[in-house]
Structure 1
Amino acid sequence: MAAVPLVLASLSGSAAQAAPASPAPTVDYVIVAGVPGLRWEDVSPQTTPTLWAMAERGSIASLSVQSADQPTCPLDGWVTLGAGNRALWSAAPPAPPSPGVACPDVPVEVERPDGIGAFLPDQRNVVRHNQGQLPYGAVPGALAESVRCTVAVGTGAAVAAARPFGRVDRYEPRLPQNAAELLDDCVLTMVDAGAVAATEPAARRAQARAADALLARVLAARPTDSLVIVAGLSDTDDSRRLHVVVADGPGWERGWLTSASTGRDGYLQLVDLAPTALTAMGRALPEKVFAGQPARMVPGRPDKLDAAVTQPADADREAGAQRRIATWFFGVLAAVQFALAVAVVPLLRRARMPAAPVESSSPRFGFHGLVRKASRAARPQPLAVPRPVVNLIEVLLVASALAIPAALVADAVPWWRTDHPGLLFTAVTLALLAAGTAAVRLTPAYRQTLGPLAMVAAIAAVVIAADVLTGARLQLNGVAGYSALTGGRYAGLGRVGLGVFVAGTLLVAGCLAQKVRRTWRPWVVGTVGAAGVLLAGSPYLGADAVGAIALTAGVGIAAAISTGGWLTFSRLAWATLAGLVVTAVFAVLDLSRPDAERDRLGRFLGALGDGTGGRAVQRAAASSVGALDSPLTVLAVVGAVLVWFALLRPWGGLKRLFGIYPAIRAAMAGIATAAVIGGVLGGSGLDVAGAVAALTVPMAALASLRVLDHASDRTQPPADPPTAQVVRPAAPEPAEAAPTPAADSDQRHEQGGGVRLAAKVLPWNPVDGAINT
């Protein structure tokens, strides 16, 4: 209930502030020149003077060339351009790839029956394959079908300009000397300017120079009132990179390119080029065919092109380095947490010493007490773990839980610009990890049972929240964030960030709720959770409606059982009602926005309305299956195994922790609920659960060690208790009234990180000779 007004206020205020940019004036002609493999590091005044001058007067961006497969080879890029959707060129079963060759040279048969146009006999098979075998619903040739006439120059351009039945309206294998008449024939022209595919610098410069010379001829022959788009529309090998996109024409002067599909200035997707071409000519887009959104120009680019070009070039280097480093970072983290899980198990089994009343050698305890004392002394006892070893394991658990926030903050340092980016990233991350762990360890609250858990959760939640509030710069192309190369997200809260934020927010809410009276705990959890839902779900902050719904479900469950007890039907009903209300609010607000600005929730509901929801479900399922090979899956599995087979055992301590601190039990139940919902609805497999486990499981193990370490503490009886006279009265005397319990029976006095239980010494029992406690 607290989340609904906050979400409404945030979204309405943000919508009032985010006025869309004014559309560019329409043009009569659009020319798209494709240069597969062209990157911003290839562009310079010396090597590509024509493209440099074009970029200086036009608008620029980094182009993500994601198609229906990885990597995007040149023919895949061309057919994706013509479809306006993720597609593949697959006219026949693919041949076995050559060793080390990710993009083999595939011949394309182009027939010229009349000498004017052309015909691609393989086009029907390409359409059939994309419609029947792939989940994206791409229609190759949809862009050509949206205009009356198209011109194609070169084989790749013919693939993009072919209609679904294979016809190319006007085709030339090479650009003629007098190209003005050809470019004036049709409103849409595709030009294959050649690929920049070499790996040797000199050969690469030669290929870029040749493409630039062809581009100079195109610009010299361009019709008046035309828009020219140059795009490096594919990779050429398995080193996936960001590529060049430049738009030059009326209304596209000196700015950044962006689109609603990316939501970030300076970034476009390959699937955005088809709707951009039609929108620039003032034509309506075909419904439910294009996956991208029209590009638009936004101001803010540096006046000098030298300074402007460094930003997309730097983004390309960062994205390339992130792809290499992220895999081994999460792999190392999974290995470390697995080793800690193995080390924690014997500590858990030996942490709790046998519990027994304090005994005395006084003769008044009788024969039975002496016999029990002797039998316990003869029983083998587990060896106590040395305190320095326990302290070391606790510090390592704190460090492993802070690894992802430290890696996220490390992206504030431009480590990718060095010759050895992996070494610098490792050094920066370890330094930040050491600083964060020392801050937690040296804080006085560290000695309390929940102290480390609360501090680590607060650090993680604050790091993610600060990044989102400042534009999510650390997550974009960050090792612990998301990559622009995958084409999944360019702004807001990513999969890893969502998992860490959910865990941090709910653990902080549980720790704060544990400090207040029982009746106030649901309000504390709801208030903290509402702030998290607001940040995650706002389209101008976290921009993750699915994540907000998952967090809402977790907050509802946590608030319902934060006072203790089980999840009864009434509690579940209230929690479900709250989740449905917030979900409905997000759904209504998302559906009320234009199609181009909708989040995943709005797009999915729209797909259900027009009958294409099956493909959306198929894409989400394929995405979840594809995410299972991530190291985050290993983190999720390791965390689940440690919790189920160790922490939840009678000797594991987690049940005792939950009994003493019911608000922490509620928080962890909410975390598990949110992780499952976020992974299923978001199509992210176990990525969210892995990020949750990386933070939650080490801190749960540390807190369990703390409560087990003091599980057998007993209040010592007086050294010389008063003599009790054994008198058998006719009627038993009433026992002394017990003290009135506190408002919260689970509130304990914490001292030295443990829990001291108050014990009341009752009169001596003459039957068994022991003192009742």
Structure 2
Amino acid sequence: MRRWAVFTLVAGFVCALAAPAQAAPADPPPTVDYVIIAGVPGLRWEDLSATNTPTLWQMAERGSIASLSVQSADQPTCPLDGWVTLGAGNRALWSAGPAAPPSPGVACPEVPVEVERPDGIGAYLPDQRNVVRHNKERLPYGAVPGALAESVRCTVAVGTGAAVAAARPFGRVDRYEPELPQRPAELLDDCVLGIVAAGAVAATDPVSRQAQARQADALLARVLAARPPDSLVIVAGLSDTDDSRRLHVVIADGPGWERGWLTSASTGRDGYLQLVDLAPTALTATGRALPEGVFAGQPARSVPGRPAELGVAVTQPADADREAGAQRRIATWFFGVLAAVQFALAVAVVPLLRRARLPAGPVASASPRFGFHGLIRRGGGTARSLAVPRPVVAVIEVLLVASALAIPAALVADAVPWWRAEHPGLLFTAVTLALLAAGTAVVRLTPVYRRTLGPLAMVASIAAVVVAVDLVTGARLQLNGVAGYSALSGRYAGLGRVGLGIFAAGTLLVAGCLAQRVRRTWRPWVMGIVGGAGVLLAGSPYLGADAVGAIALTAGVGIAVVISTGGWLTFGRLAWATLAGVVVTAGFALLDLSRPDAERDRLGRFLTALGDGTGGRAVQRAAASTVGALDSPLTVLAVVGAVLVWFALLRPWGGLKRLFGIYPAIRAAMAGIATAAVIGGVLGGSGLDVAGAVAALTVPMAALASLRVLDHASDRTQPPLAPPGGEAAAPVQPGAPEAAGEPATGSDQRHEQGGGVRLAAKVLPWNPVDGAINT
């Protein structure tokens, strides 16, 4: 009944609190009669200015703006891939046959597109059928090139790229002109949807880029002068032009789109839009229903909050572009260096673990001059010297704390705009090291540091609090952060892969440390309440917005709850944990399915895909994502951590088993962490990224705690010696706490001394016959 109450509490707490009141939906903008989409591959916010691109500047001033993520079915997104993705409303590729070998040093080579004009009015793309077949049969996204054109009665295309976007699945373009006519008003008035190729900004030197941006701006001025009344014009930098993946320009100018930020349910963050959002935006703006199961994006909308002065407003998307670009370069070496450091620490810790435990023997004591240990017999002479100087041990412990705090420090470092510096990598390194030194000093100088679990508890608390505060304040540190996620990779809000690993490990370790300080019968309650609060933060649609991460954390909390009192994971306990996980998972699934299609998380979208028969593609995408994530430096962190745990810490001399035996709540927490890491990686399609983040925090702290336990593994309760003169010591009263053998906490019959764990023996009264204490 106690376990049933615990699981009912956890499930009810999570399901009730994870569903806050739904926000009132924003009023949709008024419908228009025409939509014109002008594509300028490579156009970035740094290319716009009031003097060089006055037309674009005026559009941005009176319209709504955002940063555009141009993900297609491959990276980088080359211009033709961007055009076909625009027409499909889903991640697609322009591939009409066998892929040509890449040109050395050219990320986006020129690809000729054959455009036939049999009647002089429209056009025909003979390669379109092969492109449709390639995307439907060989790619896991289920894209249908031409789906946007199929959703309207008539389309106009100006330019080759626009023809790729406006072509129907069988290759027909309704109205086509290779260049914008001198008087384009009649052409743009013919069809409800117009797509214009307005040039490209592909140069790398600033002078050439300014010239290309001016050309695009001049063509857009002619389009705006000829736009039909009651029309919406969208300008989008819809692709990259080289391998430097960046965020691009998107501007919406029309009735109902005045002076705001653009956003969509697919991004969940103001000021960010995806390329796949443009097709559903065009249909919704004209009042047309979206085709089911075709578009991957969601309609954009304009929200208030943009600064009144455009010069100030434009700095935000331009700054986001710089940060995302810098994050991509720095994140790889940051996690690579962290993996190397933790590998070096693992090599250094192994000999300390082997020497940490004093050999058993007659009356002996540890020399105060050494750490692990100079052994001195009473009466003189050294029995055996395994001398490791105490300063060396202290340095290793501090380095273990610092390595565990590296990811939280990098997360906080993103509060400083390091990406604006001339050398962003150096500034990020300096800020991170300063935060790391401050955090390590706080842990080291706190009095609780001397206790066995003191460093572990403090590091876990810091990590969990950093991620929790970031989630409550809008996850601004994780967006485009080195230790977070990039808008270039399709994540814009909520809890990321690295954040999930750090948060799950920190939450469960904190729960384990708190549970260890209460009576055995209360431990499941402490584990359940603290873990339930973590699940709430991870799974709430308005905080972590990660239903998959919440499910993984729920499974970890369930395992931790059932074994927090000690013992093995029996079939009965596993059944209770599974039941709790099923209840919470069902609650999150129902919550996600009750939301509009546009606002559903991965769990809701996957269940919807299962219902409409496209679940196989979702599984294929998750598998491809998992395989693609294996080349991350976080994989190295996960492997290094697993090797250290399995081949060192879990060995008889490694100390981790002893730590688990003395602190069953910590064993429960670490079992839950391992469960959450595996489930989060498998269901989230993130490979070993979650496990790598978990290992970066948990393994160094487990090694430090193991060293502390082994340091006091040979402590013995010494009997009081008879005082000089032969008088016996006063007998111990049977009713005293020492006679009962209970420590002050009343749990596990143990107490901590000098930073280690010392087993408490049950002491019986003095025996005057043989002058010894019976234990």
Q: Place the TM-score, normalised by the shorter chain, in its bin.
A: over 0.9
Please identify, of 756-765 and 65-74, the stretch whose mean Cα deviation from structure 2 is larger.
Answer: 756-765
In structure 1, the partner of 2:169 is 164
The 5 A counterparts of 1:188-587 are 188-358=193-363, 381=384, 383-487=386-490, 489-587=491-589
C-alpha deviation, 1:392, in angstroms: 0.1
Cα gap change, 1:355 to 1:613, in 2 (>3 Å): same
Contact 1:3–1:533 under 8 Å retained in 2? no
**1:233-280 per-position Cα deviation (integer Å, ceiling 9, x unaligned):** 000000000000000001000000000000000000000000000000
Unaligned runs of at least 5 residues, structure 2? 1-7, 366-376, 727-733
TM-score by length of 2: 0.93
Q: Which amino acid in 2 is paired with 1:232?
A: G
Maintained 8 Å contact 1:30/1:226: yes
1:645 pairs with one of 644, 647, 650: 647
Please give the per-residue CA displacement for 1:482-513, whole angstroms capped at 9, x wherever unaligned: 000011x1000000000000000000000000
Q: Which amino acid aligns with 2:182?
A: Q
Query: Which amino acid is the alignment partner of residue 664 of structure 2?
Result: P
Matched, 1:612 2:614: yes
3-state SS in 1 of match to 2:489: coil
* Aligned residues of 1:765 and 1:771 also touching (Cα < 8 A): no
Give the Cα–Cα distance (whole angstroms) in 1 for the partners of residues 749 and 223 of structure 2: 78
Residue type of the alignment partner of 2:477: L
Q: 2:681 aligns with which of 665, 679, 686?
A: 679
- Offset, 1:754: 1.1
Q: Please state how far the C-alpha of 1:723 moved relative to its aligned partner.
A: 12
Contact persistence 1:358–1:717 (CA under 8 A): no
Picking from 122, 128, 148, the partner of 1:123 is 128
- How many angstroms apart in 2 are the aligned matches of 1:44 and 1:220? 20
- What displacement does 1:752 show? 1.0
The one-letter amino acid paired with 1:553 is A
Q: Which amino acid aligns with 1:502?
A: A
Q: Check the 8 A contact 2:19/2:541 in 1, yes or no.
A: no
Aligned partners of 1:640, 1:118: CA distance in 2, in Å? 59
Report the CA distance between 1:718 and its aligned residue.
3.4
Look up the SS of the partner of 2:50 in the other structure. Answer: coil
Partner of 2:704: 702
Confirm or deny: 8 A CA contact 1:65 1:77 kept in the other structure: yes
Distance 1:13 1:89 in 2: 43
Report the Cα distance in structure 1 between the residues aligned to 2:18 and 2:715, rounded to whole angstroms.
Answer: 52
Letter in 2 for 1:134: L
* Identity %, equivalent residues: 86
Measured at CA, do residues 60 and 688 of structure 1 come closer, stay the same or move farther in structure 2, by a change above 3 Å? same
Report the Cα offset of residue 717 of structure 1: 3.3
Letter of the 2:458 counterpart: M
Q: Which stretch shifts more, 574-583 or 382-391?
A: 382-391
Tell me what 2:370 maps to. Answer: none
The residue identity in structure 1 corresponding to 2:410 is: A
The letter of the residue matching 1:567 is L
CA distance in 2, matches of 1:388, 1:12: 52
Contact 2:660 2:666 in 1 (8 A): yes
SS of 1:38's equivalent in the other structure is coil
TM-score (norm 1): 0.94
Would the aligned equivalents of 1:64 and 1:268 in 2 still touch at CA under 8 Å? yes
Say whether 1:5 aligns with 2:12: yes
CA apart distance, 1:94: 2.1
| Separation in 1, partners of 2:300, 2:480 | 21
SS for the counterpart of 1:247 is: strand
Determine helix, strand or coil for the equivalent of 2:242. Answer: coil
Separation in structure 2 between the aligned mates of residue 304 and residue 559 of structure 1, nearest angstrom: 54
Q: SS at 1:245's partner residue?
A: strand
2:749 and 2:274 map into 1 onto residues whose CA distance is 55
Task: Decide whether the 8 Å contact of 1:257 with 1:296 is kept in 2.
Answer: yes
Report the 3-state secondary structure (helix = DSSP H, G, I; strand = E; otherwise coil) of the residue aligned with 2:233. strand
Partner of 1:370: none
Tell me, in whole angstroms, the C-alpha distance in 1 between the residues paired with 2:382 and 2:48. Answer: 82
Separation of aligned partners in 2, 1:741 and 1:710: 19
Deviation at 1:609, TM superposition (A): 0.6
> 1:728 is matched with which residue?
none
2:102 to 97, 104, 123: 97
Give distance in 1, aligned partners of 2:590 and 2:177.
Answer: 50
| Aligned residue type for 1:434 | A
Cα distance, 1:715 vs structure 2 = 2.6
2: CA distance between counterparts of 1:12 and 1:562?
Answer: 28
**Does the 8 A contact of 1:7 with 1:538 survive in 2?**
no
Q: Give, in whole Å, the separation in 1 of the partners of 2:511 and 2:18.
A: 24
Q: Does the 8 Å contact 2:766/2:772 carry over to 1? A: no
Alignment partner, residue 68 of structure 1: 73
What are the superposed Cα offsets for residues 549-607 of structure 1, whole Å, 9 maximum, x if unpaired?
A: 11111001001000000111111111111111100000001101110000000000000
Q: Distance in 2 between matches of 1:718 and 1:611?
A: 77
Could you say what secondary structure the match of 1:13 adopts?
A: coil
Which of 147, 150, 156 is the matching residue for 1:145? Answer: 150
> What residue identity is the alignment partner of 2:680?
G
Aligned to 1:367: none
> For the Cα contact (< 8 Å) 2:765–2:773, is it kept in 1?
yes
Q: Deviations over 1:142-199 (max 9, x none)?
A: 0000011101100000000001111111110000001000001110011001110000
Other structure's SS at 2:21 match: helix
1:136 to 129, 132, 141: 141
| Aligned amino acid, residue 418 of structure 1 | A
Q: Is the 8 A contact 2:267 2:273 kept in 1?
A: yes
* AA of the residue aligned to 2:703: A
Moved more, 350-359 or 266-275: 350-359
Structure 1 range deviating more: 750-759 or 401-410:
750-759
Q: For residue 199 of structure 2, what is the amino acid of its counterpart? A: G
Kept in 1, the 8 Å contact 2:751–2:760? The answer is no
Pick the aligned partner of 2:90 from 64, 67, 85: 85
Structure 1 residue 616: Cα displacement: 0.4
- Do 1:258 and 1:297's aligned partners in 2 also have CA atoms closer than 8 Å? yes
Q: CA shift at 1:310, angstroms?
A: 0.4
Judged with a 3 Å threshold, the aligned counterparts in structure 2 of structure 1 residues 747 and 161 are, in CA distance, closer, same or farther, namely farther
- Secondary structure at the counterpart of residue 14 of structure 1: coil
Q: Structure 2: how far apart are the matches of 1:291 and 1:536?
A: 24
Contact 1:658 1:665 in 2 (8 A): yes
How far did 1:454 drift?
Answer: 0.2
Figure out how many residues of one structure are paired with residues of the other and give that number.
746
**Residue type of the partner of 2:454?**
G
The answer to whether the Cα contact below 8 Å between 2:142 and 2:617 also exists between their aligned partners in 1 is yes
